[in-house]
Amino acid sequence: MGYSEKTLNISKFNDSIIFLSPKDIELNEVVLLNKNYTLEEIIEHVKDSLEKNYDFDFLKQKLFIRNSYYTKIDKKDAKLTESSIAEFNQPFVDSLLNAIPNTSSNHSEVLGEFYSKLSEDNAPSKLDIIKASRLYDKNNEMSITAMTEKLQAIVRKHVKRDSYFKIKSGIIGTKTEIDSSLFGDNQINQTKEAIENRKKQEEARRKRFLHFKKQSLTQLQKHNFIFKDSDLNFIHKDHKYQFELENLTTLNDYIVYKVSFHPKGSADYQGTLYINADDFAVIRVDYQNVKPLKTFKLFGVSFNHYLNKGTLLYEKNTRNKYALKYAEEKEGQLVGFKRPVKIIEKNKNVKGRRKQNEVASDVDFIVRNTDKVEMIVFENTPINKSVFTDFKEKPNVKPHYLSKYDPEFWQGYNIIEPNKAIKTFKSLENE
């Protein structure tokens, strides 16, 4: 508490008493600690405290996870160099390429309860899906399906049932059998057997969705600085990084050391650590790679893992251990393929030469994939092994299809606020 400044003209100053108005004075934050540690000591304490600070036992986490996938085709080109099938000509190849959208995205969201044990190994996990959605453009699938059906019609007309394909690219080749469904009846079969098969296919889709989401959660929790063999090695391999203590501040009512880091030499990441000054737990980390994590280029095939950035936040549970509260990660990869491709139909059951048909093309594709995953945990409940064992997974939830963002779908549930790209998403069927 202080007083506001008051200015008086001295030539008119006659009063013996001056009244000043009270005014709050904002002071800079002052943090007091009972011991001063060097930066090296802080990082060493973090390493030594990993096992005691974090919860490696069984947990049941009520959570929400969103996976977003973005694809951008920078280049798509295929020049037909040979074809023994008249219908398989350059205009048809161009129509196949045009059916592939240059940009596409899809998003899936799940609210559920995840049963797991934090482990660097492939420890088992279980997921109980409460509600789920998928946001994507069905028109993209329909366009590709239509072109696939045209391609299958050409195959049925010219390719023998008992043939096989040999796919070659230069000296590299592989043999593949022809899918017998290519020659099946295209009419809808409403027999009891067909209906049963469709039920099995639907069940298989639910199982795949459950497996995929469980795998995504497991990978997200394993990609963690806690583990020795993690790519996020700025704690376990601290000698590869330069650290700088920026200041002492507060985060979630904790006094924390804010420490930035960047590579000394060949390390991959830079970022910021928020370290609890009381127990030396990293309760938040922001990280991003400073160079490509993996590159490959040979004989026209290229790969560049150019982006990996994210944020991890932790909070204590009833075991008084830290468990993951929030995670966000973004990955970017660039894939290129510039090679000749030849597809040869061969048949060993005919007289004469085995080669029946041949299609060859020079292919040039560059595809950019960006994946983003966000997860927030509402409840971190410690459980024992028997609770984990007794829980039985049931793949009984099918994600609800959304052709455009629907704010009503998650009304009444806690979720992560969707970004602008999701809010503005709509498929062509809504235009």
CA dist 93 and 88 (Å) reads 7
267-290 exposure pattern, b = at least 16 Cβ within 10 A, e = fewer: bbbbbebbbbbebbbbbbbbbebe
Which residue has 């993951």 as its token pair?
Answer: 324
70-123 pLDDT tens trace: 999 999 999 999 988 888 889 988 988 888 889 988 999 999 999 999 887 778
Please say if the pLDDT value at position 426 is more than 60.
no
CA dist 93 and 364 (Å) reads 13
197-227 pLDDT tens trace: 788 888 889 999 999 999 999 999 889 999 9
pTM, rounded to two decimals: 0.81
Beta-ladder partners of 323 = 315
Identify the weakest region by mean pLDDT among 122-131, 168-177, 251-260, 378-387.
168-177
CA dist 366 and 336 (Å) reads 4
Provide the pLDDT for residue 431.
45
Which residue has 């350059």 as its token pair?
Answer: 90
At 28, is the pLDDT very low, low, confident or very high (cuts 50, 70, 90)? low
Beta-ladder partners of 335 = 367
399-408 pLDDT tens trace: 998 888 787 8
Q: Strand runs (DSSP E) across 53-207, as ranges?
A: 58-83, 103-117, 126-135, 164-169, 172-177
Please say if the pLDDT value at position 425 is more than 90.
no
Residues 6 or more apart whose CB falls under 8 angstroms from that of 196 comprise: none
Q: Give the start-to-end residue ranges of the domains of the chain.
A: 2-430
User: What count of Cα atoms within 13 Å lies in the side-chain half-sphere of residue 153?
Assistant: 9
Say if CB 125 and CB 114 are below 8 A apart. Answer: yes
CA dist 170 and 90 (Å) reads 21
Which residue has 């019609």 as its token pair?
Answer: 153
| Average model confidence (pLDDT) across the chain | 85
Q: Which of 225, 228, 242, 223 is nearest to 281 (CA)?
A: 225
Query: Higher pLDDT residue, 70 or 161?
Result: 70
Give the other-Cβ count within 10 Å of 328's Cβ.
Answer: 18
Mean pLDDT of 406-429: 71
Mean pLDDT of 250-279: 94
**What are the tokens at 320?**
């008084």
**What are the tokens at 5?**
């400044």
DSSP structure string for 254-316: EEEEEEEEEESSS--EEEEEEEETTT--EEEEEEEESS-SEEEEETTEEEEEEEEEEEEEEEE
337-394 pLDDT tens trace: 999 988 888 888 777 788 888 889 999 999 999 999 999 999 999 999 999 999 999 9
Provide the pLDDT for residue 164.
73
